[in-house]
Structure formats: structure tokens, C-alpha cells
Copies of this chain bind each other. A is one copy, B any other.
Amino acid sequence: MTAPELHPVNLPLAPMLGVWRGRGEGHYPTIDDFSYIEELTFGHVGKPFVAMAQKTRDATSDVPLHAEAGYFRPQGDGTVELVLAQPSGIVEILTGELTSSEGALELDLSSVGVHLSPSAKSVTGTRRRLVIDGDSMVIDMWMAAVGEPMTHHLTGHLQRA
């Protein structure tokens, strides 16, 4: 199967496409600090969205930590929607702004809806920022959860695999 042509609305997201690996640090007022190994994949099938799959593992024990899967929907006007599902029972809808140039990209998205399965822990809002320069990515995540206000939670430094 030949690779499909990138849909025109996806062109600004081209610097994201591929597999990224690296390490990150997590902190939150209610838990101990932790380090993790991350793998992040962005793919497309020629349609006007980019699929995302993320997995993290504990940097010491290699035990699986978090995962999430979702889809970026660039709107063609510099804004992007992101829908996400997480094994913790959380689904999210985020919107935000994209700036992109040859080989570089900055995407800053904030939740417009966070919805929980009946048994999920309380998360009320998230923000995700992704900055790519060539083959390097810095990804940050903020979260309002379990009664805490929007607080920085994760920073990952990834390289194109």
C-alpha cells in the first residue's frame, strides 16, 4: 500500500507526522514526582485528520503508565480540534491555535469538554502544548483534577524516531 497524499488541511501539521520517543517528568500537588518514557505516534490516511497514539512507561520499572488515543482535526483557519480517549475513563475535546512553518510547529490546545465514565477520577480541565523544531519536540500538559486548579503536570522531551 503506497502512502496516501496528505490532505491539504493537514499540511500545517506535517512537522508532527511520524514516531517520537523520549522522556518526561511528571508532578502534581496530590502525588509524588515521577519520570517516564514516552512514545508518541502521529499518522494520517489522506483524510482531514491526524491520528495520535501515546504510551508512557515508568522510567525505572518499565511498567506501563498512561496511554491515550485520539484525532487532531485542523479546521483550515489556524485552529485545531482534538478529541481524545484515555484508559482512565476520560474523554476530552480540546480546541486551540496552531502556528507552523517548514519543519516547525506550535500547538496550544485547551479543553472545551472533559467527560468522565461513571468510575473515572475527577478531571475538569486540561491544556496541552506541543512545540516542534525539526526533529525535537517539547510537550507540556496542564490539568485541573481532584479539586486542584489548572496546574502544570507533565513535560516531555522527545526526538523523532
Contacts and interface: CB of A to CB of B under 8 A. Distances in A.
A51 B71 contact: no
Given A83-B86, A89-B83, A73 B115 contact: no
A119 interface: yes
A147 interface: no
A69 B51 contact: yes
Given A47-B64, A64-B46, A85-B83, A73 B119 contact: yes
A115 B115 contact: yes
A49 interface: yes
Interface string A100-116: 00000000000011011
A134 B118 CA distance: 31
A68 to B, nearest CB: 9
Interface of A: 4, 45-47, 49, 51, 53, 55, 64, 67, 69-71, 73, 75, 81, 83-87, 89-93, 95, 112-113, 115-119
Given A45-B67, A71-B85, 11 more contacts: A45-B55, A46-B64, A51-B67, A67-B71, A73-B87, A81-B117, A81-B118, A91-B115, A93-B116, A95-B118, A112-B117
